[in-house]
């Protein structure tokens, strides 16, 4: 404190106002006191010359001070620091005529005056001190350090600038309460997550297996900090067994190191069973395995196998190993309903499997494709092409003439007929051929069809010397073709 007073006294002695006055008094000491002077109109005022010297320098010094202090203003910035961190407070001036700077705390206690430390606090250190800057540091900042800090520039008058130091309260590690181990399926439980010491109030988020779920949030103030609570209502299901519930704290002071707590939920529930088989259609003599798949917590006791409500009849062929029932060789006597049963202290569950053993097939199954059967030839086909059937001839029948290759692409109906040579048929044939040159198909039908005799039901062909039969194709349009008539037999086709 003595050093502070000495510094203030030194500044006063060398100030631009008092220094000229003291200097003039030192050079021109005042004369002895004179009696009061009488002032007359004819004589000028006679003041001591030393008094005149004292007044003039004082006015000059005052003007110089005003010019030197113009534009001088300390510059500061607000600071935000996390609790436990370090805050750097900086005060700068653009122009300074060797006037001291000072930092003071929210309680108006001087921290540093220039490079002189005024407050005994080991957390406060000098970083830089000059005529244009004064920077100090406060380490291990607490919530009590928060407030308005003042930087003063000791001019005439004194100029100040204020900077607010904000201290962030770091939230504590969250805690999860209300978790009972183990929980039973169907229970309703409430999980509560709580964190203390945050400033401003923290945000709590819930996650189930890394998937976010919503909880109910509550905030309570405690001095300068806040206590935040979030609750989660659960209806316990067997699917919750082994689920991880995480409570995570979000806060501006935890950007790099988020705080979270995880609890794994354990759920006890009665078992459920199901039977799987190795064969879909088991047959006699085959190998079959049945497995009783059970799931429960705690794990069910060893399963029990029964057949039709009783014990297994043939333990030599029916082997039980743990949850598996194995049939080494199936037969018809194995048909029936098989049941497996699993239980724990919370309940019992059963499953059934109906076994039917199929016969081994001795032969291949008959083909489903029908076998084609021959049909008798149609010897009563009409001569009218418009009334003839549009179905192609059956080439599998005996005694029929296969179609000529040139007729396969024809769209006109085809009429086949054969006959023995006789005078009646020969004359009818010649008449028909000649008529084709002059009449249309409809006219020929109206003229000759009523007079033609019926065709014979069966035809016989005597052997030819050359074993030949001829096929004649007679298109109606645009030309007519003839074949020579042989004495023994003739096959004729008209289109």
Tens of pLDDT along 227-256? 999 999 999 999 999 999 999 999 999 877
Tokens 């004064």 correspond to what residue? Answer: 134
Considering the segment(s) 270-355 as one domain, its CATH architecture is Sandwich (2.60)
Domain residue extents for the chain: 2-29+48-66, 79-166, 175-265, 270-355, 405-494
Q: What is the CATH number of domain 79-166?
A: 2.60.40.10
pLDDT tens readout for residues 163-180: 999 999 999 999 999 988
175-265 shares its CATH topology with 270-355? yes
- Asked if residues 471 and 404 have their Cβ atoms less than 8 Å apart, the reply is yes
**Pairing label, strands 110-113, 490-494:** unpaired
Residue 475 binned pLDDT confidence (cut-offs 50, 70, 90): very low
Give dist(CA 359, CA 376) in Å, integer.
Answer: 44
Considering the segment(s) 175-265 as one domain, its CATH architecture is Sandwich (2.60)
Proportion of the chain above pLDDT 70, given as a percent: 59
pLDDT tens readout for residues 354-412: 999 999 887 555 555 555 555 555 544 444 444 344 444 444 444 444 444 443 433 33
What is the arrangement of strands in the sheet containing 415-419, beginning at the earlier edge strand? 415-419, 490-494, 473-474
pLDDT tens readout for residues 432-452: 777 666 665 556 555 555 555
- Asked if residues 145 and 165 have their Cβ atoms less than 8 Å apart, the reply is yes
Is 71 a residue whose pLDDT tops 60?
no
Of 65, 67, 71, 74, give the one whose Cα is nearest residue 132. Answer: 74
Give dist(CA 418, CA 283) in Å, integer.
Answer: 62
Between CA 268 and CA 271, with CA 270 as vertex, the angle to 5 degrees is: 115
Kindly report the pTM of this predicted structure.
0.53
CB atoms within 10 A of CB 342: 25
Give dist(CA 114, CA 131) in Å, integer.
Answer: 8
CB atoms within 10 A of CB 285: 10
């Amino acid at each position: 404190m003595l050093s502070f007073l000495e510094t203030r006294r030194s500044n006063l002695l060398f100030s631009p106002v008092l220094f000229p006055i003291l200097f003039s008094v030192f050079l021109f000491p005042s004369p002895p006191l004179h009696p009061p002077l009488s002032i007359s109109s004819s004589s000028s005022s006679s003041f001591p010359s030393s008094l005149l010297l004292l007044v003039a320098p004082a006015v000059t010094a005052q003007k110089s001070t005003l010019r030197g202090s113009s534009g001088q203003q300390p510059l500061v910035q607000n600071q935000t620091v996390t609790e436990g961190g370090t805050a750097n407070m900086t005060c700068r001036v653009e122009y300074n005529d060797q006037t001291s700077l000072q930092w003071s705390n929210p309680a108006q206690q001087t921290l540093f005056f220039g490079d002189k430390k005024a407050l005994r606090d080991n957390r406060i250190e000098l970083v830089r001190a000059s005529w244009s800057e004064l920077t100090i540091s406060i380490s291990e900042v607490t919530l009590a350090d928060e407030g308005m800090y003042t930087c003063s520039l000791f001019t005439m008058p004194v100029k100040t600038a204020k900077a607010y130091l904000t201290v962030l309260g770091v939230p504590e590690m969250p805690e999860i309460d209300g978790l009972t181990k183990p929980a039973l399926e169907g229970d309703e439980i409430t999980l509560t997550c709580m964190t203390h010491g945050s400033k401003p109030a923290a945000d709590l988020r819930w996650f189930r297996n890394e998937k976010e779920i919503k909880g109910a949030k509550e905030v309570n103030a405690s001095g300068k900090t806040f206590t935040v609570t979030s609750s989660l209502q659960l209806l316990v299901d067997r699917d919750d067994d082994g689920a991880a519930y995480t409570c995570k704290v979000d806060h501006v002071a935890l950007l790099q190191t988020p705080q979270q707590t995880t609890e794994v939920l354990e759920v006890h529930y009665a078992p459920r069973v199901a039977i799987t088989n190795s064969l879909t259609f088991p047959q006699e003599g085959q190998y079959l395995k049945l497995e009783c798949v059970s799931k429960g917590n705690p794990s069910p006791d060893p399963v029990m196998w029964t057949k039709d409500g009783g014990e297994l009849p043939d333990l030599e062929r029916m082997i039980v190993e743990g949850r598996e029932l194995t049939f080494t060789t199936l037969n018809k006597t194995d048909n029936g309903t098989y049941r497996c049963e699993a239980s724990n202290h919370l309940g019992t569950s059963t499953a059934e499997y109906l076994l039917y053993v199929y016969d081994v097939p001795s032969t291949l199954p008959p083909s489903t494709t029908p076998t084609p059967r021959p049909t008798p030839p149609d010897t009563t086909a009409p001569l009218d092409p418009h009334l003839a059937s549009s179905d192609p001839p059956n080439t599998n029948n005996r005694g029929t003439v296969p179609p000529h290759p040139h007729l396969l692409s024809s769209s006109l109906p085809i009429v086949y007929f054969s006959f023995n040579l006789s005078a009646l048929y020969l004359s009818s044939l010649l008449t028909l051929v000649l008529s084709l040159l002059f009449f249309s198909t409809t006219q020929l039908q109206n003229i000759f069809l009523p007079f033609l005799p019926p065709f014979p039901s069966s035809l016989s062909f005597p052997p030819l010397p050359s074993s030949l039969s001829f096929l004649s194709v007679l298109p109606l349009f645009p030309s007519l073709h003839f074949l020579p008539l042989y004495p023994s037999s003739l096959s004729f086709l008209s289109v």
